Chains A and B, each alone.
Chain A
Amino acid sequence: QKEVEQDPGPLSVPEGAIVSLNCTYSNSAFQYFMWYRQYSRKGPELLMYTYSSGNKEDGRFTAQVDKSSKYISLFIRDSQPSDSATYLCAMSGDYGQNFVFGPGTRLSVLP
C-alpha cells in the first residue's frame, strides 16, 4: 500500500461546479498537510496547508483534514477554467519525515 493515495483522474467539471479532491494516507505520524497546484509543464506551487485536523479556507478553496479517518480533502467553489491543473497533496510529520507527495489528480474545468 502506498503511503499516500490519490485518485489520478482526470476529473472534468463544468465551470462554476464545486470540486472535491481527496487523499488518503496510512502514516498516523503525519501532522502537516499541504495542497500543491501544478500547471502543465510547470513546477508545483503551494496552494494551502493545514496543521493537524480541521478546516482552513482561503477564498474559493477549503482544505479539510480528518486525522481519525486519515483522509484529507480540497474543495474548490465556483471552479474556473484557470483552475485546470494537477493537484498534489503532500504531508509530513513533526519528527524528521520529509514531504510525501500523492500522485496528483488532474482537473479540467470546462468553460
Chain B
Amino acid sequence: NAGVTQTPKFQVLKTGQSMTLQCAQDMNHNSMYWYRQDPGMGLRLIYYSASEGTTDKGEVPNGYNVSRLNKREFSLRLESAAPSQTSVYFCASSRRPRDTEAFFGQGTRLTVV
C-alpha cells in the first residue's frame, strides 16, 4: 500500500520551461489536493479536486494548471516556470472534501533558475 506517490522527487528547471508533476493515490480517495510549502508560509493550497471530474482553484493558483486524470491521478502543470515557483510541492488526498485527515505524498522539491 503506497499511499500517495509523487514524481519526480527533485527537479531543476530553467525560467520559462514547463513541466508536469504527477501524483497518484491508491486509497480510493475522492478528493485530491496540490499544495506548495515555502519557509514561513506554511502549506498553501494551489488547486484541489473534490471528486473525479471536478477541479477548483485554491489560494495560489496563478501560473499553474491541473488535471484530474481519473480517480487515482491528479497532475499539476507549470506552463512557464518562474523563480517564484521554487518551492516544495505536496500532493494530498482525502476520502471526501475537507475530511479531517489528508494523506500527503513525500513532496517534490522544485528549483527554478
- Cα separation A88 to B100 with both chains bound (whole Å): 14
Best-buried of B45, B58, B100, B107 by chain A (most CB within 10 Å): B100
- Cα separation A45 to B105 with both chains bound (whole Å): 10
Q: Which residue of the partner chain, among B90, B100, B103, contacts A34 with CB atoms under 8 Å?
A: B100
Q: Is the CB of A99 within 8 A of B42?
A: no
User: How many chain B residues touch A (Cβ–Cβ < 8 Å)?
Assistant: 23
Q: Please, which residue of chain A has its CB at the minimum distance from the CB of B104?
A: A43
> Which residues from chain B contact A60 at a C-beta distance below 8 Å?
none
Known: A98-B58, A101-B42. A43 touches B90 (CB 8 A): yes
Q: Is the CB of A42 within 8 A of B107?
A: yes
Which residue numbers of A lie inside 8 Å of B, CB to CB? 4, 6, 8, 32, 34, 41-46, 49, 88, 90, 92, 96-99, 101-104
Best-buried of B42, B102, B107 by chain A (most CB within 10 Å): B42
Q: Provide a sorted-by-A list of 17 A–B residue pairs whose CB atoms are within 8 angstroms.
A: A8-B40, A32-B98, A34-B100, A41-B106, A43-B107, A44-B43, A44-B90, A88-B43, A92-B98, A97-B98, A98-B48, A99-B98, A99-B102, A102-B42, A103-B40, A103-B41, A103-B42
- Cα separation A41 to B9 with both chains bound (whole Å): 10
Which residue numbers of B lie inside 8 Å of A, CB to CB? 4, 33, 35, 40-45, 48, 58, 90, 92, 97-98, 100-107
Shortest Cβ distance from B14 into chain A, in angstroms? 24
Q: Which residue of the partner chain, among B45, B100, B107, contacts A98 with CB atoms under 8 Å?
A: B45
Q: Please, which residue of chain A has its CB at the minimum distance from the CB of B107?
A: A43
Q: Is the CB of A101 within 8 A of B43?
A: yes
Shortest Cβ distance from B62 into chain A, in angstroms? 17
Best-buried of B44, B48, B102 by chain A (most CB within 10 Å): B102
Q: Which residue of the partner chain, among B41, B58, B107, contacts A41 with CB atoms under 8 Å?
A: B107
> Which residues from chain A contact B42 at a C-beta distance below 8 Å?
4, 6, 88, 101-104
Q: Please, which residue of chain A has its CB at the minimum distance from the CB of B58?
A: A98
> Which residues from chain B contact A96 at a C-beta distance below 8 Å?
98
Q: Is the CB of B98 within 8 A of A43?
A: no
Q: Is the CB of B4 within 8 A of A43?
A: yes
